[in-house]
């Protein structure tokens, strides 16, 4: 990628940034996993293959809006990010990229994403995506993150929305099934994030962010990881209980749950200092796995049942 030299723009003198920095602002790996969940929401919304227009424009629109939300998060958190080793090398935290450029990029992505959903998908999906964008970029980042250790539980509603957005992109209306898919991601968010927060507790404390391990200690947070882990397991069983998914899903999700709860148990025991980070990384494979078996089960209908 071509280097761009910027001199004294927005108070950042002689910064050198790369196009790659604009991609970094989008939190691409998080957005890709969100889009995978949205795609499964789309597939489950229809007994046949969903229309290619809804899938393509839906995924591009949701992806652009989520990337815009992530870029706004980088803008609002640039000073906090500079205080933590994990985030200090980010484009704005390290002052490589002028804030005004990032703000323009975040606005462009968000307007393009919501605009595309309005134009090519449907109004309901556009409004729900906008609500998620505001929920994460503004409500979570600007207020909750700095105010309460319940920040990620409440903010988790925005992060959990992609399967619902995928569903409404295809159907144009709300129903209980996508809310159930959203519930799975919502319940999974605390074990996902608090495992990492235990590992990074000292950094959060240094930056003055009231994450649960900072305000209530490690032992309490480890217990919460264990309890929310069980809540996640219960949520993952509901698609089978209500007849939305079949035996392929049940077998697959039970295997994933066993591994997920093994890691959450190791976090809860607290004997192994490496367990929280390992549990965090497994949580990502787990959520991809759960949505993967939902998809597999959906298309296995007809072959096995």
Ligand X SMILES: CC(C)=CCC/C(C)=C/CC/C(C)=C/COP(=O)(O)OP(=O)(O)O
- For residue 226, give every residue at least 6 positions away whose Cβ sits within 8 Å of its Cβ, in sequence order, or none: 264, 265, 267, 268
Binder to ligand X among 161, 171, 245, 257 (CB under 6 A)? Answer: 161
SS3 state of residue 91: coil
Binding span for ligand X by CB under 6 A among 45-53, 130-138, 233-241, 280-288: 130-138
Binder to ligand X among 106, 158, 212, 293 (CB under 6 A)? Answer: 158
Tokens of 297: 């089960």
- The nearest distance, CB 86 to ligand HEM, in angstroms, is 5
Binding marks (x or -) toward ligand HEM, 13..42, rule CB under 6 A?
----------------xx--xx--x-----
Determine the Cα–Cα distance for residues 167 and 186; give it in Å rounded to an integer: 16
CB 25 within 8 A of CB 106: yes
The one of ligand X, ligand HEM, none whose footprint includes residue 33, by CB under 5 to 8 A per kind, is ligand HEM
Question: Which CB sits closer to ligand X, 31 or 256?
Answer: 31
Contact between 159 and ligand X by CB under 6 A: the answer reads: yes
Contact between 287 and ligand HEM by CB under 6 A: the answer reads: yes
Task: Give 3-state DSSP helix, strand, coil % of the chain, rounded to 5.
Answer: 75, 5, 20
- For residue 132, give every residue at least 6 positions away whose Cβ sits within 8 Å of its Cβ, in sequence order, or none: 65, 66, 69, 158, 159, 161, 165
CB 152 within 8 A of CB 189: yes
Sign of the alpha-carbon dihedral angle for 110, 158, 72, 288: negative
The one-character DSSP state at 6 is: E
Contact between 159 and ligand HEM by CB under 6 A: the answer reads: yes
> 217's torsion region: left (phi>0), alpha (psi -120 to 50) or beta?
left
> By CB under 6 A, how many residues form the interface with ligand X?
21
The one-character DSSP state at 18 is: E
Binder to ligand HEM among 41, 113, 156, 166 (CB under 6 A)? Answer: 156
Contact between 87 and ligand X by CB under 6 A: the answer reads: yes
- The nearest distance, CB 159 to ligand HEM, in angstroms, is 3
> Residues interacting with ligand X, by CB under 6 A?
27, 30-31, 34, 65-66, 69-70, 73, 77, 87, 129, 132-133, 136, 141, 145, 158-159, 161-162
> Residues interacting with ligand HEM, by CB under 6 A?
29-30, 33-34, 37, 86, 152, 155-156, 159-160, 185, 189, 192-193, 196, 284, 287
């Amino acid at each position: 990628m071509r280097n761009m030299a910027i001199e004294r723009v927005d108070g950042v003198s002689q910064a050198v940034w790369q196009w790659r920095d604009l991609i970094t602002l989008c939190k691409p790996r998080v957005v890709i996993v969100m889009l995978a969940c949205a795609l499964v929401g789309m597939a489950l919304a229809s007994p046949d293959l969903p229309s290619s227009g809804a899938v393509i424009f839906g995924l591009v629109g949701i992806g652009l809006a989520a990337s815009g939300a992530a870029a706004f998060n980088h803008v609002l958190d640039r000073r906090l990010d500079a205080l933590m080793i994990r985030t200090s090398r980010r484009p704005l935290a390290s002052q490589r990229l002028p804030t005004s450029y990032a703000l323009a990029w975040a606005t462009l992505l968000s307007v393009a994403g919501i605009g595309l959903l309005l134009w090519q998908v449907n109004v309901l999906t556009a409004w729900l995506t906008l609500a998620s964008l505001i929920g994460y970029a503004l409500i979570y980042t600007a207020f909750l993150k700095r105010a309460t250790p319940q920040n990620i539980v409440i903010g988790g509603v925005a992060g959990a929305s992609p399967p619902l957005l995928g569903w409404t992109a295809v159907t144009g209306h709300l129903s209980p099934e996508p809310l159930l898919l959203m519930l799975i991601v919502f319940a999974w968010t605390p074990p996902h994030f608090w495992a990492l927060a235990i590992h990074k507790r000292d950094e959060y404390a240094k930056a003055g962010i009231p994450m649960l391990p900072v305000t209530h200690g490690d032992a309490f947070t480890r217990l919460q990881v264990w309890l929310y882990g069980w809540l996640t397991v219960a949520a993952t069983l509901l698609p089978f209980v209500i007849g939305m998914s079949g035996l392929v899903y049940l077998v697959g999700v039970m295997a994933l749950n066993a591994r997920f709860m093994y890691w959450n148990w190791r976090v809860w025991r607290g004997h192994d200092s490496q367990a929280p980070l390992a549990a965090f990384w497994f949580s990502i494979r787990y959520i991809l796995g759960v949505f993967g078996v939902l998809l597999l089960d959906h298309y296995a209908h007809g072959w096995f049942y």
